[in-house]
Amino acid sequence: MQPNLTANSRRIESIDILRGLAMVIMALDHVRDYFHYTANTDDPLNFATTTPFLYFTRWITHFCAPIFVFLSGTSIYLQSLRKTKKELSAFLITRGLWLILVEIAIISLAWTFNPQYQFIPLQVIWAIGICMVLLGLLVWLPYKLILILGLLIVLGHNWLDRFDNASWSNSFWWDLVHHAFFTPYPFAPGHYVIIVYPFLTWLGVMMLGYCTGIFFKANYSSGQRRKIFIAIGSFLLVIFIVLRGINIYGDPYPWTTQKNGLFTFLSFINVHKYPPSLLFLCVTIGPSFFLLAFFENIKNAFTDVLRIYGRVAFFYYILHLYLIHLLDVIFFFIRGHALKEATNTGQLPFYFVVPGEGFGLAGVYIVWAFVVITLFPLCKWYNNYKSKHKEKRWLSYL
């Protein structure tokens, strides 16, 4: 049974296992982005053209970003048990700024392989970074106030959708804060930034993850924690079913009747990610509480592997993007393309990506398995290195 947390105890394994599961599933979506033949010509959630298997391949990866951000908040709370407010605030601000820099300088290059940085997408690492900076300021507030503000953001942010069509909302700042319009904004001649993850809702998710960390304190037993997590997960799923069923609030796009019952169900669970709607968060974070409860007392070879990925999540995140894109480059040349075609693929600035080329889903899953398995030895090595060199403070930034 997993021990209760004290200020000096080891990491919570259930958190690392769930984070590791999210990391493994996340790679599936990124492999699909580069290797599925319709990835750059169609939407896998388009009911007119998708298949149930393709839909599921995309939809299951919706869980990854919410888990990643939510558990980042939980981990921050656990750090607060062994750091002063001043130390925690300084760490969050500096690490948040570091993550933003990494998103711009390292991760955007992994996505594009464009050394001129003509296109910089601000995605999940940027969102975690800016949220850490803001939480670094908010940690000075009382716990209950952080909880109230987090709930207000997550429960109420869809009210802001009504302003998306206002003339003043079509701007960089509205895009940055609330709604991802996927508009390229020039910051230099021939260079653009695009907001994929506006930060407001993700800040609310991180704040609620932070507040959830209280249940890992020593005054909550393993059994109490499991009951609480199952109750919270059930409550979130009930909210999802009720609000989604009445189609009034919680997601900007209502579900509709489709050609058959299965596709109508797929429409029902097809909720908005950019930014994450209230219902998107309910249907992804709700089951995540069940998994946290389940993983609390489970230990086997499979969870041991997931724990490794979860303990080195950021390291794995960077490596898996470069490996996936490098494999794409290899198949680009195998298909007979020349180097001069790499920057003229119709998907500028994602070099070496040709719309309409790639594999079916079987090929995508094979590449996904190869990526995950190939990275495991490196992740295991790095986890061991971190465990043996805890005195190296710079390791907490990777």
What pLDDT, on a 0 to 100 scale, did the predictor assign at position 347?
60
What pLDDT, on a 0 to 100 scale, did the predictor assign at position 181?
79
64: pLDDT strictly greater than 50: yes
DSSP states along 84-127:
-HHHHHHHHHHHHHHHHHHIIIIIHHHHH--TT--EEEE-HHHH
pTM reported for the whole predicted model: 0.93
126: pLDDT strictly greater than 80: yes
What pLDDT, in 10s, does the model give residues 208-221?
999 999 999 999 99
Strands 191-195 and 119-122: parallel
Q: What share of the chain is helix, strand, coil (3-state, %, to 5)?
A: 65, 5, 30
Distance, CA of 244 to CA of 363 (rounded, Å) = 35
